[in-house]
Chains A and B, each alone.
Chain A
Amino acid sequence: GAVVSQHPSRVICKSGTSVKIECRSLDFQATTMFWYRQFPKQSLMLMATSNEGSKATYEQGVEKDKFLINHASLTLSTLTVTSAHPEDSSFYICSARDPGLAGGQYEQYFGPGTRLTVT
């Protein structure tokens, strides 16, 4: 299957600072990327959907000004956690949708995740 990378894999930051997480589709162009958040022993929670060249669509309850998403190219989306607080500590996972499959169906590939710890 296609490969999606995330960087960094782990990050520790101090409360009040901002952190940027990158998500890249390595061997396909992704017009749509998704950002998820996962707490320990829980399922993935969709935070937002980003489409290349347009503003991200946030899920209900997700603060747009806190979680800034940019999808500037067909292979790169970034999530910036602004003014991070300890409660933002979580596992953040991106995924990218490959629209180029034969038959017209979409397949979504997930990145390896980024562990954010805010101290």
Chain B
Amino acid sequence: QQQVKQSPQSLIVQKGGISIINCAYENTAFDYFPWYQQFPGKGPALLIAIRPDVSEKKEGRFTISFNKSAKQFSLHIMDSQPGDSATYFCAATLQYSSASKIIFGSGTRLSIRP
């Protein structure tokens, strides 16, 4: 029930295209869904996050779509650029609980072809 399932495992997108990564969760108690971007040899960095009371959040070229009834959320990267090539992790947690841990998806390796 604590799992977060992420797909695809890897993704190749042409420059300028839209990259889409999907995640699904089971625990309806989760109240915070962050996405992390990780470059090789670096720690993950928070990219964008959403709470379940909204269906979409947009920050620049990055958009999270959230479907509470389906327990699914996705990251859309518009106008994908070579600099977006990285591994992306979706995650879920309880942001107001001091005892909460971040549950990570398995990751998606995104490659943007020039």
- Chain A interface residues (CB < 8 Å from chain B): 1, 4, 6, 32, 34, 41-44, 46, 49, 91, 93, 95, 99, 104-113, 115
Contact = CB atoms under 8 A, between A and B. Distances in A.
B43 A99 contact: no
* In the complex, the 8 A-B pairs of residues with the closest C-beta atoms, listed nearest first: A110-B43, A105-B95, A113-B43, A112-B43, A43-B104, A93-B43, A43-B107, A43-B106
A104 B96 contact: yes
B69 interface: no
Interface of B: 32, 36, 41-46, 89, 93, 95-98, 100-102, 104-107, 109
Contacts of B105: 43
B96 A115 contact: no
Contacts of B93: 108
Contacts of B45: 110
B98 A106 contact: yes
Contacts of B101: 34, 46, 49
Nearest to B42: A112
A93 B41 CA distance: 10
A43 B42 contact: no
Nearest to A10: B41
Contacts of B96: 104-106
A115 B41 contact: yes
